[in-house]
Amino acid sequence: MKLQRKNMLRATALGGLVVSGALVLTACGSDDNTKTGTNAAKTAQAGDIKCDGAKGQLLAAGSTAQKNAMDLWVKNFQAACSGVEVNYQAIGSGGGITKFNQGQVAFAGSDSALKENEVADSQKICKTGKGINLPMVGGPVAIGYKLDGVDNLVLDGPTLAKIFDTKITKWNDPAIAKLNPGVKLPDTAIQAFHRSDESGTTQNLGKYLSEAAPAEWKYDAKSKSWPAPGGQAANGSSGVANAVKDANGAIGYFELSYATASKISTVKLNTGAAEPVEATTENASKAIAAAKIKGTGSDLALSLDYKTKAAGAYPIILVTYEIACDKGNKPENLPTLKAFLNYTASEAGQKVLTDAGYAPLPAEIAAKVREIVPTLS
Residues 60 and 145 in one domain: no
Name the CA dihedral angle for 350, 236, 197, 301, rounded to a multiple of 10 degrees.
10
Q: What angle do CA 139, 180, 310 make, to 5 degrees?
A: 40
Residues 187 and 229 in one domain: yes
What's the predicted TM-score (pTM) here?
Answer: 0.74
- What confidence tens digit (pLDDT) does each residue in 333-359 have? 999 999 999 999 999 999 998 878 788
User: How far from the centroid of its chain's Cα atoms is residue 120's Cα?
Assistant: 25
Is 156 inside a domain boundary?
Answer: yes
Is 53 inside a domain boundary?
Answer: yes
Alpha helix ranges (H) inside the chain: 5-8, 37-44, 67-80, 93-101, 116-126, 157-164, 174-179, 200-212, 236-246, 256-262, 281-288, 334-345, 347-351, 363-372
Other Cβ atoms closer than 10 A to 34: 6
CATH number of the domain encompassing residue 37: 3.40.190.10
- What confidence tens digit (pLDDT) does each residue in 220-247 have? 988 889 999 999 999 999 999 999 999 9
Residues 30 and 97 in one domain: yes
Residues 339 and 224 in one domain: no
Residue 138, SS3 per DSSP: strand
Alpha-carbon distance values, 26 to 20, 31, 43 (Å):
16, 8, 8
Is 301 inside a domain boundary?
Answer: no
- How many domains does the chain fold into? 2
Residue 271 has pLDDT above 60, yes or no: yes
Is 149 inside a domain boundary?
Answer: yes
Residues 108 and 176 in one domain: no
Is 199 inside a domain boundary?
Answer: yes
Is 125 inside a domain boundary?
Answer: yes
**Which of 84, 22, 87 has its CA nearest to residue 52?**
84
- What confidence tens digit (pLDDT) does each residue in 178-213 have? 999 999 999 999 999 999 998 888 999 999 999 999
Residues 151 and 210 in one domain: yes
Rounded mean pLDDT, 306-312:
92
Residues 281 and 145 in one domain: yes
Residues 355 and 278 in one domain: no
Residue 255, SS3 per DSSP: strand
Residues 82 and 149 in one domain: no
Q: CA-CA distance, 162 to 218, in Å (whole number)?
A: 11
Residue 9 has pLDDT above 60, yes or no: no
8 Å CB contact between 123 and 325: no
Last residue of a domain, one of 241, 268, 286: 286
Is 309 inside a domain boundary?
Answer: no
Residues 252 and 331 in one domain: no
Other Cβ atoms closer than 10 A to 26: 17
Please give the residue range of the domain that contains residue 209: 141-286
Residues 159 and 33 in one domain: no
